[in-house]
Structure 1
Amino acid sequence: MMIKDLQVNRRKIPLLMPFKTALRTATEIESTDVTLTLENGIIGKGAAAPTFVITGESSESIVAALTGPIKDILVGSDISHFQTLLQAIQSCCVGNSSAKAAADIALHDAYCKWLHVPLHAFLGDKKPLQTCMTIGVDAPKQMADDAKRNIDLGFKILKVKVGANPSLDIDRIEAIRDVIPKTVKLRLDANQGWTPKQAVQLINDMEKRNLGIEFVEQPVASHDLEGLKFVTERVGIPIMADESVFSAKDTLTLISGRYVDLLNIKLMKCGGISNAWKIASIAETNGVACMIGSMMEPALSVAAAAHFAAAHPNVKYFDLDAPLWLSEETQELSYVNEKVILSDLPGIGLVNTVLGTVKG
């Protein structure tokens, strides 16, 4: 079955409220939507959003990669050579991980629709998914209010952004703890906002105060692997790499050097589902559990990540709340409080003109 065409569309999606981290404040996302059309009319959808401070990509660079080298290797190719095409997406240009992720997602969606199976079934499982909800970095009182509001909405795990002002971070966590039940788990994400020594001091202090921290994500700069290891070896709370892990090669480095305890996989960082599977499997072989995360990105790409997470046995933690921040209705997956519900329609679950399915 030949791939007949690849089309790209850009659009902006406002957020319901500003999303604040130690690296940036976002009020909207720029979604680059990819449509693959097979010769029989089957349509595969993918999407990406740029996060310049993490992947180095802009909307313009994502479009250039998709309409240039990626389109060249996909259009006119036979989708039955699925694995070969996945490899070709990764090797057709340097970098451009989010553009590659969009194409990888679209190819998976089209292939699964061609086989008439849901993406999670093609990948091999469908375990339950329970997402955390992110609390953006802000003044302690505001973060506490946001935390209580989300607990009242039914979330049982909060991912708390810190690092923008390290001197306030203890106050932020204590303010949140004062207004939520002790049973609520807190995950911290410093987004590279601390020095190694700051991280050790702050994390050990939090541990002494019994603040109920499940793990701490990317406490130091992404390139500072020795600093990451310095922190991991000196605190009791598990340390997770995020911006330090983009690829299977990064995974081998982090695991073999015992730099961290956990890994955060994001499709926009690693280039899509095919590479995400490699990362999770390498980590599994070495006894290191993974989380599936998301940038501030469209629901379609988050849904693809959710299908992957439901299928891979080594994805133990789930951070899939990005669609809940968007002003548009989510059509690719649904939420019941903290539970993420995947579609059982072919592919990711979007409308297909040939199959005659409905969105779900």
Structure 2
Amino acid sequence: MSHTTIRSVAVEPLTIPLREPFTIATGSVTAARNVLITITLEDGSIGYGECAPFPPSTGESQETALVAASACATLIKGKDAAHWRTLSALIQSVYFAQATVCTGMEMAILDALTRSYNIPLYLFLGGASSSVETDLSIPMVKPDRGYEIAREAMQMGIKSLKVKVGGELREDVDRVEAIRSGAPHLSITLDANQGYTPNEALLCLEALDNRDIRPLMMEQPVHKDDFAGLRYVSQHTAVPIAADESASSPATIARLLTDTCVNIINLKIMKYGIVKTLDSAALCRSLHTQLMIGAMMESRLAISASAHIAAGLGGFKFIDLDTPMLLTEDPFIGGYEQQGCHYDLSQVQSGLGIYRK
């Protein structure tokens, strides 16, 4: 038996309230209703993983993730974490419909393994950098509240704002304009979360252009299955278009890029797991496509995993890993040191560097 053999796997709910409701085009949440996975290896190394289901995006809930993760624990117990790619393929072959469970298991396996190897995950993945810089997301709020959040973000040292749109066009444009007024020197990206038709997306960008507001990019303007709509928007604006929900697997990413539907791919580990995220990043690089990394409603644990991936691989133009700032509390410490929007991983000694409080 190897010292990196998985001795035990524990599964438990992880529920954390938000500071205020977070509303996007596909729904509103008041708490992160996630699942925590804890893996212990034969040498005593402990790894943590987080599943962050969001029903409109992943088709999962905390309840389904708990059941699937508990069953998956039996599947991997006694296996060697050193064979993490083989284990990922095994987990994906059985629990492919529970993507966040696959992610949480892979995260815990890699955390435990790199703790056992006494190497930070970002170095294990390539060590291209030891830090990342995130934006701050502003939900679909009234313009005056958007103005307040923008002012607060500027005082925090945030350099980039991601504004949720995809609702009524006039309200969306008014919100973005108020945010620009509140933080005139910060860069702005837009995220419609599938809320527009192709023409509505173009009308939004045109209305903003008329107000001298030119976002750095617009994310997922149309329904996830409307690849033709994505391509239409991309071809009729100078604003780069990103795919998020449409980029649901390496196969769909390949189709999006082959058909020149978008300029940017948002890689979220909760959509298809860590190994497929690494594979998707390699695919995007090979086709010279800009990379973004984002998140569901995640705690410091899962956000640390994404930060380690982005820093380890390097080359991510857009970083959207701000969700721990939206939570009333966080049951974890470590993973990175935060200064404003800057996440520094250089002090992590091994694994994700995450510890339970």
Tell me the distance in 2 between the aligned counterparts of 1:155 and 1:62: 33
Q: Deviations over 1:124-143 (max 9, x none)?
A: 11243111011111111211
Q: Which moved more, 1:82-91 or 1:253-262?
A: 82-91
Determine if the alignment matches structure 1 residue 17 to structure 2 residue 17: no
Taking a change above 3 Å as real, the CA distance of residues 244 and 340 of structure 1, as seen in their structure-2 partners, is same
Partner letter of residue 354 of structure 2? L
Determine whether 1:32 maps to 2:6.
Answer: no
1:36-60 C-alpha deviation (Å, 9 max, x unpaired): 1112221111011210010000112
Q: Which residue of 2 aligns with 1:45?
A: 48
> CA-to-partner distance for each residue in 1:128-177, whole Å, 9 max, x for gaps?
31110111111112111111111121111000111122231111111222
Q: Is this contact kept in 2: 1:225–1:259, CA < 8 A?
A: yes
Partner of 1:3: 6
Please show how residues 217-256 of structure 1 align to structure 2 within 5 Å: 217-256=219-258
- Gap runs ≥5 in structure 2: none
Residues in 2 aligned to 1:180 and 1:147: alpha-carbon distance in whole angstroms: 5
1:293 aligns to what?
Answer: 294
Q: What code does the residue aligned with 2:57 have?
A: I
Give the letter aligned to residue 141 of structure 2.
D
- In 1, are the aligned partners of 2:20 and 2:30 still within 8 Å (CA)? yes
Between the aligned residues of both structures, percent identity stands at 33
Range that drifts further, 55-64 or 97-106:
55-64
1:114 positional shift: 1.3
Is 1:144 the counterpart of 2:180 in the alignment?
A: no
Q: Distance in 2 between matches of 1:249 and 1:218?
A: 17
Q: Which structure 1 segments of 5+ residues have no match?
A: 352-358
- CA distance in structure 1 between the partners assigned to 2:316 and 2:19 by the alignment: 29
For 2:82, what is the secondary structure of its paired residue? coil
8 Å CA contact 1:31–1:48 kept in 2: the answer is yes
| Higher mean C-alpha displacement, 59-68 vs 78-87 | 78-87
Is contact 2:157–2:340 with CA below 8 Å preserved after alignment?
yes
CA distance in 2, matches of 1:323, 1:299: 6
| SS of alignment partner, residue 213 of structure 1 | coil
The residue aligned with 2:319 is 318
Match of 2:267 in 1: 265
Q: Secondary structure at the match of 2:37?
A: strand
Secondary structure at the residue paired with 2:206?
helix
TM-score by length of 1: 0.93
User: Separation in 2 of the partners of 1:142 and 1:82?
Assistant: 45
* Cα deviations by residue, 1:82-136 (Å, 9 ceiling, x for unpaired): 2211221221233211010000100110110111100001001124311101111
Q: Over aligned residue pairs, what C-alpha RMSD do you find?
A: 1.5
In 2, Cα distance between the equivalents of 1:210 and 1:284?
32
8 A contact 1:9–1:32 mirrored in 2: yes
Aligned to 1:349: 353
Instruction: Give the aligned length.
Output: 350
Q: Distance in 2 between matches of 1:208 and 1:345?
A: 50
Equivalences for 1:67-216 in 2 at 5 Å?
67-68=70-71, 70-125=72-127, 126-181=129-184, 183-216=185-218
Decide whether the 8 Å contact of 2:43 with 2:116 is kept in 1.
no
Decide whether the 8 Å contact of 1:12 with 1:29 is kept in 2: yes
